[in-house]
A = this chain, B = another copy of it.
């Protein structure tokens, strides 16, 4: 397996139609020639002399470079059919002779070694011996010497370092030619402060008043994620993302050089017309580049299909959002039930301080959400592939980008919308006691717990991210196992026959042209979890790391044992995914700034600390009391107050509003506007600082590392020199 395959974008080509069209008439002729060669070799084929795992022709010299398989039912040629297990599948094994390889290496402009690299390997830094035991030995890291490469040319064959004609072209090329616990929280736990705070009920009628210290444990847990370090962590991650993407660019440049893709233009391959498009086209139009007539579909013929595809996407999104709304309704309706149930159930009293009705609702809703997401994903994948096909895109590139857009949009909304809801909408528009806002006039809006919404966002993220990862890895590992087992069971009817290598391989799963697409999509969605909400969930990068370590192993096992060998394809970058990663990196700075100021509790605490605190030694003492407004129970409208009558006349709620004795009662007070101004200022300052650092870093770090640039230049210089000398001496 060529490394280019596992990281850079590889596109498996449609095996036959395309490659023939791509290489042109010559290729077809050469192909016929190759088939003739192979068929003649097949005629005197003796099965018994042959090992089961052999990848060589009967002569033991010529290597099998490609195996074509096709199914034919007509009993025309009984002799050849005998070679197959099920008696229907034909195998054509192809070996590319030297002349064919040489010709098409030139046509494809493949770069081959021309001179041993004379740039010394970088010296290890002075303290590198300390890292010795951890490092890979250089013979493992660089198994073959480095070469300068140049485009292969038949007429200058003697220039290239050809030791052995059989191994000069590596098999992938052959294959291609073939194809914290602290202060104010203790206030909540303090029976003298938290125990004295009578909070307004969290739902109408059913819920009772409650004391603040019942949420003590929950608040302590919340402080783990919601503290001053969150600000620095958010800033740090904004910068880390930039560095990550910059160093990825450098790594990409290095791989580009190592895999000889420096001057490679992938468009050629990608801009090839799709056979489906050609088949559907009746009109022709002149291509201004080749000046040849080419199938063309007028815009008016495409519009109905675009319309169908647009409506399907819109319908899909609507379905998605309505599923999210239904989960919100589930949360709202189930909360009252949980609250009354947990009130009455005696066994739950002991865990009440941690396992609040809010948490129970959040947990059950997140799990439900995760399941709904996975189910919707399954259906939408199929639908979007189908409608992209319906659009009849001209080229593979158009097909890819249309599908990528649809899939990414959908998965983005599917995975992140519930997180966006918890982070930025939940508890923001609840109104205040006596004038709560109601959804569809039935369900009262959700409030966040007294510890803030941040801990709920953390719960939500943990469940969705880990749920996705576990499901994804199991899916990736089990699906091919089951399919392969089933396939083998079905096809092995003549068990007495030799089960040849190519038959074994043929019975494996197909790593289709969308195989890599799913790998990218998974990685990009994971990148979103790591960056977009990292301020609320600092453990996300750790989970991502664990998932990636596992993913590498699962993928390696899968690709080497469960799938047919994929057809290698060249690509000089990860394409449109890079733009998506950059977009997410920029979006993440904004989302983290908003999480710090709106989801977390830091800014109100800081405002209290600097502007409102009256205690000069412990400046945060009194914050809990200050952050809760007073409501007169007598002001509750009909049928919303708890049914049991109590002996107190006011209750408290989280907001900055005027007390009942104020002339503009229950209006926002001055502190509200003060805190809001501080929140907005924080967002502006943080975004500007982070973006400034980001752009400076991105501008300062070169896209191509210095040593790679030198190597590229040296290679070019040497190639020109060698060819020039060669032409002179000819």
A579 neighbours in B (Cβ, 8 Å): 699
Render A642-678 as a binary contact track against B, CB cut-off 8 A, 1 for contact. Answer: 0000000000000000000000000001100110110
Out of B290, B670, B684, B717, name the residue touching A670 (CB < 8 Å): B670
Interface residues of A in 363-388 (CB under 8 A from B): none
Number of this chain's copies in the complex:
2
Interface: A81 (CB within 8 A): no
Out of B119, B669, B673, name the residue touching A677 (CB < 8 Å): B673
Residue of B whose beta carbon sits closest to that of A583: B695
9 contacts across the A-B interface (CB closer than 8 A)? A288-B710, A289-B710, A289-B713, A579-B699, A583-B695, A670-B673, A676-B681, A677-B677, A680-B681
| Alpha-carbon distance between A714 and B676 when the two chains are bound, in angstroms | 59
Residue of B whose beta carbon sits closest to that of A287: B710
Interface residues of A in 684-729 (CB under 8 A from B): 684, 687-688, 695, 699, 710, 713-714, 717
Residue of B whose beta carbon sits closest to that of A715: B289
A710 neighbours in B (Cβ, 8 Å): 288-289
Interface: A481 (CB within 8 A): no
Given contacts A289-B717, A669-B670, A680-B680, 6 further A-B contacts (CB under 8 A): A288-B714, A583-B695, A670-B670, A677-B680, A680-B683, A683-B684
Chain A residues packing against B (C-beta within 8 Å): 118-119, 288-291, 579, 583, 586, 590, 669-670, 673-674, 676-677, 680-681, 683-684, 687-688, 695, 699, 710, 713-714, 717
A676 neighbours in B (Cβ, 8 Å): 673, 677, 681
A586 neighbours in B (Cβ, 8 Å): 695
Cβ of A590 and Cβ of B688 under 8 Å apart?
yes
A290 neighbours in B (Cβ, 8 Å): 714, 717
Report the minimal beta-carbon distance from A691 to chain B, rounded to whole angstroms: 8
Q: Which 7 A-B residue pairs are closest in the complex by CB-CB distance?
A: A680-B680, A673-B673, A670-B670, A677-B677, A676-B677, A673-B674, A289-B713
A683 neighbours in B (Cβ, 8 Å): 680, 684
**Residue from A118, A291, A670 with most neighbouring chain B CB atoms (10 Å):** A670
Residue of B whose beta carbon sits closest to that of A707: B288
| Alpha-carbon distance between A687 and B670 when the two chains are bound, in angstroms | 27
| Alpha-carbon distance between A291 and B714 when the two chains are bound, in angstroms | 9
| Alpha-carbon distance between A677 and B684 when the two chains are bound, in angstroms | 12
A670 neighbours in B (Cβ, 8 Å): 669-670, 673
| Alpha-carbon distance between A680 and B674 when the two chains are bound, in angstroms | 12
A119 neighbours in B (Cβ, 8 Å): 288
| Alpha-carbon distance between A583 and B699 when the two chains are bound, in angstroms | 11
Cβ of B291 and Cβ of A118 under 8 Å apart?
yes
Q: Decide: A289 near B714, CB < 8 A? Known: A684-B683, A699-B579.
A: yes
Report the minimal beta-carbon distance from A593 to chain B, rounded to whole angstroms: 9
| Alpha-carbon distance between A717 and B288 when the two chains are bound, in angstroms | 11
**Residue from A586, A590, A673 with most neighbouring chain B CB atoms (10 Å):** A673
Report the minimal beta-carbon distance from A693 to chain B, rounded to whole angstroms: 14
| Alpha-carbon distance between A715 and B714 when the two chains are bound, in angstroms | 28
| Alpha-carbon distance between A189 and B670 when the two chains are bound, in angstroms | 33
| Alpha-carbon distance between A676 and B673 when the two chains are bound, in angstroms | 8
A681 neighbours in B (Cβ, 8 Å): 676, 680
| Alpha-carbon distance between A516 and B505 when the two chains are bound, in angstroms | 66
| Alpha-carbon distance between A43 and B342 when the two chains are bound, in angstroms | 114
Report the minimal beta-carbon distance from A712 to chain B, rounded to whole angstroms: 9
| Alpha-carbon distance between A688 and B714 when the two chains are bound, in angstroms | 45
| Alpha-carbon distance between A172 and B674 when the two chains are bound, in angstroms | 67
Report the minimal beta-carbon distance from A10 to chain B, rounded to whole angstroms: 24
A714 neighbours in B (Cβ, 8 Å): 288-291
| Alpha-carbon distance between A449 and B217 when the two chains are bound, in angstroms | 56
Report the minimal beta-carbon distance from A534 to chain B, rounded to whole angstroms: 20
| Alpha-carbon distance between A480 and B688 when the two chains are bound, in angstroms | 45
A583 neighbours in B (Cβ, 8 Å): 695
| Alpha-carbon distance between A590 and B717 when the two chains are bound, in angstroms | 46
Report the minimal beta-carbon distance from A597 to chain B, rounded to whole angstroms: 10
Residue of B whose beta carbon sits closest to that of A674: B673
A118 neighbours in B (Cβ, 8 Å): 291
A669 neighbours in B (Cβ, 8 Å): 670
**Residue from A680, A681, A688, A695 with most neighbouring chain B CB atoms (10 Å):** A680
A680 neighbours in B (Cβ, 8 Å): 677, 680-681, 683-684
Report the minimal beta-carbon distance from A653 to chain B, rounded to whole angstroms: 21
| Alpha-carbon distance between A669 and B674 when the two chains are bound, in angstroms | 10
Report the minimal beta-carbon distance from A15 to chain B, rounded to whole angstroms: 26
| Alpha-carbon distance between A697 and B249 when the two chains are bound, in angstroms | 24
| Alpha-carbon distance between A621 and B514 when the two chains are bound, in angstroms | 65
A717 neighbours in B (Cβ, 8 Å): 289-290
| Alpha-carbon distance between A681 and B677 when the two chains are bound, in angstroms | 8
A291 neighbours in B (Cβ, 8 Å): 118, 714
| Alpha-carbon distance between A586 and B687 when the two chains are bound, in angstroms | 13
| Alpha-carbon distance between A204 and B676 when the two chains are bound, in angstroms | 36
Report the minimal beta-carbon distance from A245 to chain B, rounded to whole angstroms: 15
| Alpha-carbon distance between A697 and B173 when the two chains are bound, in angstroms | 40
| Alpha-carbon distance between A517 and B291 when the two chains are bound, in angstroms | 43
**Residue from A288, A291, A586 with most neighbouring chain B CB atoms (10 Å):** A288
Residue of B whose beta carbon sits closest to that of A579: B699
Out of B673, B674, B684, name the residue touching A684 (CB < 8 Å): B684
Report the minimal beta-carbon distance from A266 to chain B, rounded to whole angstroms: 14
| Alpha-carbon distance between A677 and B672 when the two chains are bound, in angstroms | 10
| Alpha-carbon distance between A557 and B714 when the two chains are bound, in angstroms | 45
Report the minimal beta-carbon distance from A500 to chain B, rounded to whole angstroms: 43
Report the minimal beta-carbon distance from A674 to chain B, rounded to whole angstroms: 4
